[in-house]
Amino acid sequence: MALFNKEPEKNIKPQQPAAAPQPLVTPSTPAPQAVASDAKAAPKPAASGDARAYLDSGSRINGKVHFESPARIDGQVEGEITAKESLMIGESAVITAQIKAASVVIAGKVSGDINASRRIEIRPSAKVIGNLTTPVLVIQEGALFEGHCTMQAEGAHEERKVTVFPKEERLTQAAAKQA
């Protein structure tokens, strides 16, 4: 059993092309400009503002996703999304998930409940099916929203206290109000 071929012309390894020497840049020489070779360059997350995490349109995730910093999603996510800061859902995004974030801007398709502690914005290209909980809601003309909206901060539900009096006490209080 031979581990290699004894014929020299068949054992030739492809050689790496030598790197072209970089021109020196001096104050009198302008810096070389980068030229894009592909007309269909991938979209950059710069359009998302200050998003540090980016899931491109080719990505698909099933399960739980957690972002510590601002994020943008243009791909597909199924499951649960949490973000400590802002979350931007791009036009090409298809989300089937429960979302919890500080603020959410939606331009794509979302199916699931959204809970935002600061704000939810639904842009004209968006289609949102689910319940929203947020103190500030912006729905731009042309957007589709099907569901219920509660415009209270998440903690406001826990701060409310309901006191239930026994039936006799309620009847006595009602009679006292009528008199």
First to last CA, the chain: 109
Could you tell me which of 139, 131, 59 has the C-alpha nearest to residue 94?
Answer: 59
Question: What does the alpha-carbon distance between residue 3 and residue 19 come to, in Å, rounded to a whole number?
Answer: 32
Q: Is the pTM above the cut of 0.75?
A: no
pLDDT tens per residue across span 53-83: 889 888 999 999 999 999 999 999 999 999 9
Q: Which residues of the chain have pLDDT under 70?
A: 1-51, 153-175, 177, 179
Question: What does the alpha-carbon distance between residue 81 and residue 141 come to, in Å, rounded to a whole number?
Answer: 26
Give the up-direction half-sphere exposure of residue 100: CA atoms within 13 A in the CB hemisphere.
8
